[in-house]
Amino acid sequence: MAIDKMKQLREDEMNSNIISEDVYKDIAGNTIDVITDSLVHSLGYYGSTTVIEDNTFQSFVTKDGYNILKKIKFDGTISTTILRFITSISQELVKEVGDGSTSSVVTSRKLFKLLSESINNGKLKNYSRKEISDSLARLKDIISEKVKDQAIEINDDNFDMLKNIAAVSNNNDNKLGDMIYNIYKEVGKDGFVFSENSPTGEDYYEIIDGLETSYGYEDKVFANDPNGFDAKFNNPYIVLIDGHMDKDENVDIDFAVKLMQEVCIKEGKPLIFVAHSFSQEFVNVMKKNVLANRNRGGMNAAQPELNIALTKFNKDRGQEYEDLAAFLNADLLTKEWDNPDEFYERANELIEKDFNLFKYNYLGSAETVNMDSTGTQYVRGAGNGGKKVKSRIALIDREIEYTKTLAGKKNIDMDLYRLEKRKNNLLAKVARLFVGGSSEADMTARNFLIEDSIFACKSALKHGYISGGNLAIAKAIYHDINKDDLSELDNIVLELLNDSSKEVFRMVLKNYNRYSDVEIEKIIEDMIEGRKILNLKSTEVEDDKETEIINSSDTDIKILEASISIISLLVLSNQYLKASPL
C-alpha cells in the first residue's frame, strides 16, 4: 500500500501544464479544420449562408465570416485559444479592409498543411523555425510591394468604380452598393460613414458634420455597445489635455475623479478624456470606476451609468490638436511640466468654485462620439461652423499659400499634403447610413454586410483597387518576382505561399458547383498567366484592368499578413503551456 501511494505521489508530482508539440499540432490541425469547414461554404457569389442563434433565441442569417467566427465555441482550452487568436486577427482585418476573415482562415489552413508537411519530411526539414519565420516575413514584404504596384488609384475620372467595390463587398446588393457610392460622392475621400439599424425599416442616409482621429479608446472596458468593441456617446463633454496623465501625479487621478463627479454623476452626461498619453495606473483607476459603477447600475440606484472613455492624441501634432479643440469649441488644458501644481490649482479652483465657467472655457462637446480600438469620430462638434473653426481654416489657408511660395524646399509636397489634410478634416462630412429590413434580425444581418462595404470602400479610396478573386498574390508571384534573386529557402517558402494563395478561389469555384477539380486548376492557372478573372455572375473571362470584380489592393495584402500571423501560432510554435497542470 505504501509503495502504491509513493507511486501515485510521484505521478502527481510529474503532472505538468506542458502540451508537447505533437499533441499541440494535432489539436491545432483539427481546430483549424473545424473553423475552416464552418466558413468555407460562404465564399463567393454562390456561397451559402449560416443561420446564427443569439442568446435571446432569435436568429439571423449571414455570410459574414467574422460574425460566424464570433459565435463558434470550443470546450477545449487549446482550441479556444486558437479560435480567440484567429477572431482577434479577423476583427482587425475587417476594420482595415471590410472583408477577408474567411479568406484568411482558408488560406491559413492550406498553408498550415503545406508547411507542416514540408517541415516534417519535406524541403524545409533542415531549416529552423526562426529561418522559416524570417523567410515568411521577407516574402510578405516583397509580395505586398508588388501588389501595391498593380493598384489603380480611385480619382474623379474613375470614381464610379467605387460602386463595384461597395456592391461586391456586401454580397452583390446593388441597391446598397449604389447608396454607398452616392454617399462617398457627397462626403468625399476624406469623409467617413457609419451605419445603424433604420428606425423606419427603410434604407436611407443623412449627411452630418464630423471629424475623425486615428486614436481609439485605451481599453475595451470603455466600449458600451452590445457588440463588445464599439463605444457610442451621445452629447458627451470632452476635456482635451495638452500633456500626459502620468502615474507619478496622483493629482491627475484626483482631477479626473472630480470631473467625473461633476459631469457624470451630477449632470448624468458622458465624459471623454483626451491626452497625449495615459499611464497604466491612471487607466486602471478609470476602469475600476466604470466597472464598479456598471456592476451597481450607477453610482447608486438613482444614478445613470458612468460613461467615460480615454483616447490619445499625438503630442507631435499640436496644430491638429488645436483643430480638434476648435471643432469641439474647447480650449486645450495645458500642463506646464515645470510647474504642474499651477495647472491643477487653476483647474481645480475653477471646477470647485465655478464649474459652469470651467465648462465654458475647457469642456468641448459633440452631438455624438463614435469610438473603437482604432479610431474616434466626433460628430457635429459644438464649434462646427463657428468662429474658432473658421479662424483655423483661414489660418491653414494662409499657411498653404505661404508654403506654395517655397518652391524647391525639401518635403514641400508633404507639407502641403498635411495642411490640406488638416483643412479637409475640419471641412469633412459624416454620413449616417440607416439600414432597413423586414425585421430586426434582417436589419442586423444587412448591417454586417454594410459595415464590410464601408470599410472596403474606405480602404480602396486610400490604397486603390485591383482585380478581385483573391488571386493578386499568385499573380504577383508569377509575373513580378524574380526567383533568381531569392535564396533557396525563400524559393521553397514562396512556392508554398503561391499554392496556398490560390485556395480561396479554388473554394469559390467549388461553391459554384460547375467544374471538376482538374477544370478548376486549369481555370486558375489561365487566370494567373493571363492576368484575368472569371466573373461568375456573367461567366465571362475579363481582363484585370477592365473587370468590375474588384477590391481594395490592401485586401489581398492584409489577408496575406493575417494568414502568416495565424501560421506563426499554429506551425512555428513547438509547445503549448496551459494555465494550470493537466
Terminal Cα-to-Cα distance of the chain (whole angstroms): 25
CATH superfamily of this structure's domain 220-379: GroEL (3.50.7.10)
pLDDT of residue 461 exceeding 70, the answer is: yes
If you average pLDDT over residues 284-293, what whole number do you get? 86
Structure-block grid coordinates of residue 70: 464570433
Q: Which residues contact 50 (CB under 8 A, 6 or more apart)?
A: 38, 42, 61, 62, 63, 68
Which residues make beta-bridge pairs with 431? 193, 207
Find out whether 443 and 435 touch, Cβ atoms under 8 Å: yes
Which residues make beta-bridge pairs with 212? 377
Q: Which residues contact 284 (CB under 8 A, 6 or more apart)?
A: none
pLDDT of residue 517 exceeding 90, the answer is: yes
Confidence of residue 515 (pLDDT cuts 50, 70, 90): very high
CA distance 540 to 285: 60
Question: 202 or 575, which is more confident?
Answer: 202
Listed in sequence order, the DSSP H helices in 228-339 are 250-260, 280-296, 318-328
If you average pLDDT over residues 370-394, what whole number do you get? 90
Confidence of residue 240 (pLDDT cuts 50, 70, 90): very high
Structure-block grid coordinates of residue 19: 502540451
Phi (first) and psi of residue 465, to 5 degrees: -130, 160
| pLDDT score of 302 | 42
- Return the CATH number of 171-203+385-459, one of 3.30.390, 1.10.3470, 2.60.40, 3.30.260: 3.30.260
> For 101-151, what is each residue's pLDDT tens digit?
899 999 999 999 999 999 888 899 899 989 999 999 999 999 999 999 999
CA distance 186 to 182: 6
| pLDDT score of 104 | 92
pLDDT of residue 191 exceeding 80, the answer is: no
Query: If you compute the radius of gyration of the chain from its CA atoms, what whole number of angstroms results?
Result: 27
Residues in the chain: 582
Find out whether 91 and 557 touch, Cβ atoms under 8 Å: no
> For 73-96, what is each residue's pLDDT tens digit?
998 888 898 898 888 888 888 778
- Where do the domains of the chain lie? 16-151+469-577, 171-203+385-459, 220-379
| pLDDT score of 473 | 96
Q: How many degrees, rounded to 5, is the angle at CA 76 between CA 73 and CA 80? A: 50
Helix (H, G, I), strand (E, B) or coil at 125: coil
pLDDT of residue 422 exceeding 90, the answer is: no
Q: How far is CA 549 from CA 21, 61, 69, in A?
A: 42, 24, 26
DSSP state of 305: P
Helix (H, G, I), strand (E, B) or coil at 110: helix
CA distance 305 to 221: 13
| pLDDT score of 113 | 92
If you average pLDDT over residues 59-75, what whole number do you get? 84
Query: In the CATH hierarchy, which top-level class contains the domain 16-151+469-577?
Result: mainly alpha
What string of DSSP letters covers 407-443?
TT-TTHHHHHHHHHHHHHHHH-EEEEEEE--SSHHHH
| pLDDT score of 21 | 80
Question: 495 or 356, which is more confident?
Answer: 495
What string of DSSP letters covers 546-557?
T-S-EEEHHHHH
The most confident of the ranges 71-75, 441-445, 452-456, 500-504 is 500-504
Confidence of residue 167 (pLDDT cuts 50, 70, 90): confident
| pLDDT score of 480 | 96
pLDDT of residue 464 exceeding 50, the answer is: yes
Confidence of residue 529 (pLDDT cuts 50, 70, 90): very high
pLDDT of residue 294 exceeding 90, the answer is: no
Q: Is the pTM of this model over 0.75?
A: no
Find out whether 310 and 273 touch, Cβ atoms under 8 Å: yes
Name the nearest CA neighbour of 378 among 429, 333, 420, 424: 429
| pLDDT score of 490 | 96
Question: 148 or 8, which is more confident?
Answer: 148
